Amino acid sequence: MRIKTKEDRRDRVKHRIRKRVLGTEGRPRLTVYRSVAHIYVQVVDDMTGRTIASASSVEPSVKGALGKQAKGSNVAGAQAIGKSIAQRLLEKGVTRVVFDRNGFLYHGRVKAVADAARDAGLEF
């Protein structure tokens, strides 16, 4: 597979990560996707193929909770999404997850989601 675009490179990294990262019932996989304007997070049990919880900057409930400066395309919005997903998981009794950066570099919005989720009570 030749790398022609940034997306091709991300796909290669993503497949390399997914060979090692697996979500189970006791420790599901928290995966992050970021687009230019929004950020999406979901928690997946790979054994059953079921999504346990999700949050995104597109949801009206989350969008209303974002501050004036916070939106899906900045770090403040990513922190709100991380806090939101952690609260939803803690309500369902999930405290430990495996973090899947989905081929994105671990900095900026992706790191903000992870740090906010950790601060809100998730372990990874």
pLDDT per position as a tens digit, 64-84 = 777 777 888 899 999 999 999
Task: Write down the pTM of the prediction.
Answer: 0.89
What does the domain layout of the chain look like in residue ranges? 6-119
Q: How far is CA 10 from CA 6, 14, 51, 122, 123, in A?
A: 6, 6, 23, 26, 26
pLDDT per position as a tens digit, 73-121 = 899 999 999 999 999 999 999 999 999 999 999 999 999 999 999 999 9
Tell me which architecture the domain covering 6-119 has in CATH: 2-Layer Sandwich (3.30)
pLDDT per position as a tens digit, 1-52 = 688 999 999 999 999 999 999 999 999 999 999 999 999 999 999 999 999 9
Virtual CA dihedral for 111, 117, 121, 124, nearest 10 degrees? -50
